[in-house]
Amino acid sequence: MSPWVVIVVHGIWDSAARMEPLCRGLEARGVTGVDALDLRPNSGAAPIAALAAQVAERVRHHRRMTPKVRFQCVGFSMGALVTRYYLHRLREDAEIGCFVSISGPHHGTLTAYGLPLAGVREMRPGSALLRALEAEPSPFDTIALHTLWTPYDLMIVPGRSGQLVGAASDRRFEVKMHRFMVRDPAVLDHVAGLLHKNREGHR
C-alpha cells in the first residue's frame, strides 16, 4: 500500500515550529506522515507563487525518496492560499488526496491593506492573483477540498473568506482567535477525521 504524507503549510510570520500543535495533534489522533515545511521568507515579502514553488519542491523531495507516495495538504492562513496556488499550477502529476484549508484568505483579507509587501498585496480582496485563480479551472474536481473558518477571525477579515465554492465540506468553528485554529481540539478532531476518511476512500 502506498504511503501518505501530509504537507502542512503555515501562514504569514509562522514557521514549521509554530505548526507543532497542529502536527502533534494530528499525530496523536493517528495521522501518520505529517510534514510541516518552513516557507522562506515568511514575512509576506515574497509573491505567493514563490512560496508555492517551495511546496512543489517539498513534494518532489518526497517523491524522489518514495516514488509511489500519496499526499494530503493542510494549509493555514496564508499557507492555505499558497497551497491552493500549488494545486492550481504546480502539482504536476503528484497524487493529492485532499486539501484541508484552515482560515485561508481565498477571497482576500482587509488586513492585507496594512502592508505593501508583494505577497501581502496578493491577499487583498480582488487582487489580480485572486481573480486569476477564481477564473482558472478548479483542481477540486479530483482533489477533495475541505474548508474550515471562524467568524471571530481578526487576521482573515471577514472570516468567511475562508470558504470556497466547490468544497466537499465547509465547517464554521466558534474559535475566538485566528491562531487558535491550529490548536483547538474540535478543529484537530475534525481535520484528523477528514484525513482518515480520505485515506480510507483511496484504498
Phi, psi torsion values for 192, nearest 5 degrees: -60, -40
The pLDDT tens digits of the residues spanning 85-140 come to: 999 999 999 999 999 999 999 999 999 999 999 999 999 999 999 999 999 999 99
Q: What is the pLDDT at residue 196?
A: 98
C-alpha to C-alpha distance for 129 and 122, rounded to whole angstroms = 6
The grid coordinates of residue 44 equal: 509576506
The pLDDT tens digits of the residues spanning 131-175 come to: 999 999 999 999 999 999 999 999 999 999 999 999 999 999 999
Question: Domain total for the chain?
Answer: 1
Place of cell 478532531: 189
How many CB atoms lie under 10 A from the CB of residue 195? Answer: 25
pTM: predicted TM-score of the whole model, two decimal places: 0.97
Q: Which domain holds residue 42?
A: 4-201
CATH code where residue 181 lies:
3.40.50.1820
Mean pLDDT score across all residues of the chain = 97
Sorting pLDDT into bands at 50, 70 and 90, what band is 202? confident
3-state secondary structure of 56: helix
3-state secondary structure of 167: coil
